């Protein structure tokens, strides 16, 4: 009896410790977001007040300026959506067959091709900016939606391939063999048999690729321009040598984060399912 009581006390203590750690982690993540949200409703005077103004009269002037003022970011939100959507579509178009081939097919130099994909993922992005800039300038694709989407494709593709390979490997080989014995072609078996089994992994990969493209800044600021200016770059409209308009920056950041937060909320079930599917499936090719 005493042993059971001691074990129960230990479990409660462990659960309390884990809950405290999780609470600290959530607080560390939530506090900057909450502070930015409060800042977006402040005037510039309240933002610069010292000590910080915890109690203040909220205003929507920052959001009106950011959305409908001279430095409106609405066109930039559209640019980010177009570039991120195009980059995601292109990435998944190439990543799905590539991950399928690496995960299920046998062909010469398979290990070498997989290692090549992994190496390209390890390259530092900052070292590729100048070559990318010169290439896009040479072909006339600088400051275009197509050029920026293709650049995003180049560094999102290795990530997407390696993320999906394990999902394809977890599909039992017998399912595909049965389809092939029924005279279904390789592509038909992939479309009707394999893809329905890995849709959770595809959903997770699609979401991550879109979010990475949406949040990207370095390539957008160098390879974009007046015609293609994403929302992350547009934030600099409120930063100058003389003054930084922190309240408007915070309002713009909240608007830029809104699509990301909504995607996370509505796709939470697919994300959790996709990330855990490899842990509960078995019998796949190893």
This prediction has a pTM of 0.82
Q: What is the pLDDT of residue 280?
A: 46
Helix (H, G, I), strand (E, B) or coil at 286: coil
Q: What is the pLDDT of residue 285?
A: 44
User: Domain check: are 115 and 134 in the same one?
Assistant: yes
Q: What is the pLDDT of residues 52-65, one digit of tens each?
A: 877 888 899 999 99
The mean pLDDT value for 165-182 works out to: 79
List the structure tokens of 186.
């390789």
User: Domain check: are 55 and 74 in the same one?
Assistant: no
User: Do the domain assignments include residue 285?
Assistant: no
Structurally, the chain folds into a number of domains equal to: 2
User: Domain check: are 15 and 77 in the same one?
Assistant: no
User: Do the domain assignments include residue 286?
Assistant: no
Question: Which DSSP state fits 140?
Answer: T
105 has pLDDT over 70: yes
User: Do the domain assignments include residue 273?
Assistant: yes
286 has pLDDT over 70: no
Q: What is the pLDDT of residues 142-162, one digit of tens each?
A: 999 999 999 999 889 998 998
50 has pLDDT over 80: yes
The better pLDDT of the pair 105, 44 is held by 44
Q: What is the pLDDT of residue 272?
A: 67
- Structural domain including 190 reads 70-280
283 has pLDDT over 60: no
Best CA proximity match to 167, nearest among 247, 99, 261: 99
| DSSP alpha helix (H) spans, the chain | 2-40, 44-47, 61-68, 74-104, 110-122, 129-139, 145-169, 173-181, 186-189, 195-197, 199-215, 218-223, 231-234, 246-266, 268-280
Contact 256, 68 (CB under 8 A): no
User: Domain check: are 16 and 158 in the same one?
Assistant: no
User: Domain check: are 32 and 75 in the same one?
Assistant: no
Helix (H, G, I), strand (E, B) or coil at 284: strand
Helix (H, G, I), strand (E, B) or coil at 61: helix
Tell me the range of 95-109, 179-193, 261-275 where mean pLDDT is highest.
95-109
Per-residue pLDDT band for 91 (boundaries 50, 70, 90) equals very high
261 has pLDDT over 90: no
244 has pLDDT over 80: yes
**Cα atoms in the Cβ-side hemisphere of radius 13 Å centred on 93:** 9
Per-residue pLDDT band for 282 (boundaries 50, 70, 90) equals very low
**CA 100 → CA 77, 96, 256, 277, distances in Å?**
34, 6, 34, 17
User: Domain check: are 56 and 85 in the same one?
Assistant: no
User: Domain check: are 253 and 112 in the same one?
Assistant: yes
Could you count the other beta carbons within 10 Å of the beta carbon of residue 221? 15
140 has pLDDT over 50: yes
User: Domain check: are 19 and 146 in the same one?
Assistant: no
């Amino acid at each position: 009896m005493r042993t059971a009581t001691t074990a129960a006390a230990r479990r409660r203590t462990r659960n309390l410790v884990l809950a405290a750690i999780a609470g600290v982690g959530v607080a560390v993540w939530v506090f900057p977001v909450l502070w930015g949200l409060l800042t977006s409703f402040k005037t510039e005077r309240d933002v610069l007040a010292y000590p910080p103004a915890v109690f203040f009269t909220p205003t929507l002037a920052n959001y009106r300026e950011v959305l409908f003022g001279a430095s409106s970011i609405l066109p930039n939100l559209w640019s980010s959506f177009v570039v991120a959507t195009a980059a995601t579509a292109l990435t998944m178009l190439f990543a799905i067959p590539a991950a399928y081939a690496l995960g299920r097919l046998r062909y010469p130099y398979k290990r070498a091709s997989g290692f090549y994909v992994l190496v390209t993922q390890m390259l530092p992005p900052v070292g590729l900016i100048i070559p990318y800039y010169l290439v896009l300038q040479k072909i006339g694709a600088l400051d275009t939606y197509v050029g920026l989407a293709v650049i995003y494709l180049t560094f999102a593709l290795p990530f997407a391939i390696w993320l999906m390979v394990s999902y394809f490997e977890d599909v039992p080989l017998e399912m595909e063999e049965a389809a092939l014995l029924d005279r279904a072609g390789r592509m038909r078996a992939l479309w009707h048999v394999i893809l329905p089994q890995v849709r959770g992994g595809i959903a997770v990969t699609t979401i991550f690729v879109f979010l990475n493209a949406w949040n990207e800044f370095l390539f957008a600021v160098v390879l974009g321009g007046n015609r293609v200016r994403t929302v992350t770059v547009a934030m600099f409209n409120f930063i100058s040598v003389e003054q930084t308009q922190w309240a408007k920056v915070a309002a713009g950041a909240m608007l830029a984060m809104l699509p990301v937060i909504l995607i996370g909320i509505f796709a939470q079930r697919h994300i959790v399912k996709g990330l855990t599917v490899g842990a509960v499936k078995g019998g796949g090719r190893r």
